[in-house]
Amino acid sequence: LRKGFPEVVFCQGKTQDQIITILKKMSEQYPNLLATRVQPDHFLAVQKEIPDIQYHPTARLFILERKPAEKKGCVAVISAGTADLPIAEEAAVTAELAGSYINRIYDIGIAGIHRLFSHLDQLWQSNVIVAVAGMEGALPGVVSGMVGRPVIAVPTSVGYGAHFQGLSALLTMLNSCSPGIATVNIDNGFGAGYLAHLINQLAEGEK
């Protein structure tokens, strides 16, 4: 179904034993694996079983990449603030592993909106944009109002008070007045990266 895409394991809520068993078995069948929402202290035990697995701490991923995919096209991954990095990286690494070139543009949120303006050209040069933001979550809508590319909006749980763990950013993105946006779950960098890659692939003439 997922042409060329690595197998994926969602590790949150699984015990270390379950994770090792699943990854071990998969690593015997598939060259490339992605384990998301991993805990740092599981890495040594996993690595003991699968020595060539890698750990990406910011993105909270374990990655096995025995047959790297050929990279194509361009996915822009942009984020509003420093605290959104884990989710932005989760998206970027996911799409990269699947075979997309990534253009990372971070820390261009609304509080310093002029930083965004200087990157509009680069955004037009990507096939699709993943826009990650917490707090008020306005970045994806502003970008979509200025750049004619599909925007995948990722609300993050970064914020406090009436942010309600990401609900506020989520609602902002769903209610955007500029069309050309769709939204994934709060903190779902993986889903955004996956979908961005699907679109990038299509734009590069592959189905």
Residue 111 vs 202, nearer CB to ligand AMP? 111
Which amino acid, 77? V
Tell me which residue of 135, 85, 129, 120 sits closest to 106, measured CA to CA.
85
Considering only residues 39 to 78 of the shown chain, the ones binding a second copy according to CB under 8 A are none
Of the two residues 52 and 125, which places its CB atom closer to a second copy in the complex? 125
Which listed option, a second copy, ligand AMP, Mg ion, none, makes contact with residue 36 (CB within 5 to 8 Å by class)? ligand AMP
By the criterion CB under 6 A, which residues form the site for ligand AMP? Answer: 8-10, 36-37, 81-82, 111, 177-179, 188, 190-191
Rounded Cα distance, 193 and 132, in Å = 11
Which residues are within 8 A (CB) of 90 and not within 5 positions of it... i.e. 6 or more apart? Answer: 36, 59, 60, 61, 189, 190, 193
136 is a site residue for a second copy (CB under 8 A): yes
157 binds a second copy (CB under 8 A): yes
When asked if residue 175 is in the footprint of a second copy (CB under 8 A), the reply is yes
Q: Which does 30 bind (CB under 5 to 8 A by kind): ligand AMP, Mg ion, a second copy, none?
A: none
Q: Under 8 Å CB-to-CB from 23, ≥6 apart: which residues? A: 9, 33, 35, 46, 49, 50, 53, 62, 64
Which residues ranging from 174 to 193 are in contact with Mg ion (CB under 5 A)?
180
For residues 65 and 144, what is the distance between their CA atoms, to the nearest angstrom?
33
Residues 135-174 that bind Mg ion (CB under 5 A): 144
The pairing of beta strand 54-56 with beta strand 61-65: antiparallel
Binding residues for a second copy, total number by CB under 8 A: 81
> Counting contacts by CB under 8 A, is residue 25 touching a second copy?
no
CB-nearer residue toward Mg ion: 141 or 159: 141
Longest dimension (CA), the chain: 50
Binding a second copy (rule: CB under 8 A), the pick from 27, 100, 106, 166 is 166
